[in-house]
Amino acid sequence: MLGWVMFLMKDGVLASALGVLGLSYNSILYQESTVMLGTIYVYLPFMLFPIYLSMLSIPESVYTAASDLGASKFKIFKDIILPLTKPGIVIGSLFVFVLSLGASVESELLGGGQTFTMASNIKFSFGVAQDFPLGSVQAVSLLIIAGGSGVYILRNIDLADIAQRDGSSNEYSSSPNSRVENALWYGYTLLVTLFLFLPMTAIIIASTYDGRVFAFPYEFTLEWYAQVLDNGTIRNAIINTLQIALPVTAISTAIGTAAAIGYARFSFPGRDLFKIVALLPIFFPLLLIGLGMSLWSNAIGFGNGITQTIIAEVVWIAPIVMFVVSITALSIDPELEDAARDLGAGTIKLYYDVILPLIADGVIAGAIFAFILSWNNYYIASYMSGSNILVTTWVHSRLTQGFSSLVPAVAAVLFYISLIAAIIIIIINHIKK
């Protein structure tokens, strides 16, 4: 969200760039369309990931056969790719729908408090208005919508439909594209790339600019980063955030992987019910998880703090890891397990030498998701962290109370840490292969 604010605000990156070209710019912040833009940006990965997994399940032979039979690329997309990726499209659509129901930060930062959502109304009722009965009714209504949608989709979508693979390579070599097709493809790719990277580019530019208001000529500085390192409050916020993110990643990965293996590799009474109960928290709006866990924790005298935040985030993130790993585990041919047992492999050796290596990609992907989501989780952290300042809560407070030049630098550091962590994990995975 901060990136879009830096990019779209009156004296932001876009206004300065257009000013060099002699063009005027009227900020489009604090409009419903801008809130929608930011919400799409935040929840786009939850749409892309299940669709990507569905597309991986399509054997290369299907593309080749359709092409050999004379099917055009459009017909292959319409009659093959689109129907076969339907499970991923449905799951991704529901993910985005339910999660966006709980979005409030987007309306605060990009809507300027002028655009109200169900989540922002709930937050206002429990916070400013202190109207707990009204807030409870609003929260329960949102929970029924989100939970009901989650139960429906989990009952009607079989994860195995997404996970099915024939063991062959899914790299599809199509016939050469025409110039028009290449132009359309590269143009589309460019637009998507700009949409994904413009906010982060704006943050990096603002974090290295010597001034409060961005303008050309560009005056480069690393002073804001130096201030980040010298600021005790920010250092403590980063340390506190890491104290939450690292345990959440480890615990969520362990729990999610174990649950995924249990669901994917065993048949037991109530298996479908287990899937629904285990994965349902994914569909709960984060605002409700944070608010509900905070009320429950204080009601039993557990209070708020680092440990409480870790527990609350694991409640939401562990099911996400389970979902990711389940897709990988369900794609494993059961005959491999039978063959290993026939060769005398015990349970420990079977899982250590066969199952875990085969699901390693899913476990790593789940761990990456867990770290990034726990590192950037404002909704739960704001209710559960108590007096502990975290990076996301610090950034949010500075933005709502008045802009500071330190904010882009802190946000940039947040981005660098997430990026470095993802790169390290990818490199380790590549070395293992």
What's the gap between Cα 400 and its chain centre? Answer: 23
Q: What's the rounded Cα separation, in Å, for the pair 419 and 428? A: 14
Please report, for the chain, the start and end positions of each structural domain, with discontinuous segments joined by +: 223-433
Question: Is it the case that residue 39 has pLDDT exceeding 90?
Answer: no
The pair of structure tokens assigned to 5 is: 């604010």
Question: Is it the case that residue 18 has pLDDT exceeding 50?
Answer: yes
Q: Per-residue DSSP letters for 363-404?
A: HHHHHHHHHHHHHT-HHHHHHHSTT---HHHHHHHHHHH---
Q: What's the rounded Cα separation, in Å, for the pair 261 and 265? A: 6
CATH superfamily of 223-433: MetI-like (1.10.3720.10)
Task: Give the start-end residues of each E strand in 344-387.
Answer: none
Half-sphere exposure of 72 (CA within 13 A, CB side): 5
Q: Per-residue DSSP letters for 252-306?
A: HHHHHHHHHHHHHH---TTHHHHHHHHHGGGGS-HHHHHHHHHHHHHHTT---SH
Q: Are 283 and 94 in contact (CB under 8 A)?
A: yes
Q: Is residue 54 packed enough to be buried (19+ CB in 10 Å), middle (13-18) or exposed (0-12)?
A: buried
Rounded to the nearest integer, the mean pLDDT of the chain is 81
- Which has the higher per-residue pLDDT, 167 or 367? 367
Q: What's the rounded Cα separation, in Å, for the pair 429 and 426? A: 5
Could you read off the pLDDT of 168-219 as tens digits, one per residue? 444 445 556 667 777 888 888 888 888 888 888 888 888 888 766 566 667 7
3-class SS at 165? coil
Could you read off the pLDDT of 280-310 as tens digits, one per residue? 998 888 888 888 899 899 889 999 999 999 9
Q: Per-residue DSSP letters for 8-19?
A: HSTTSHHHHHHH
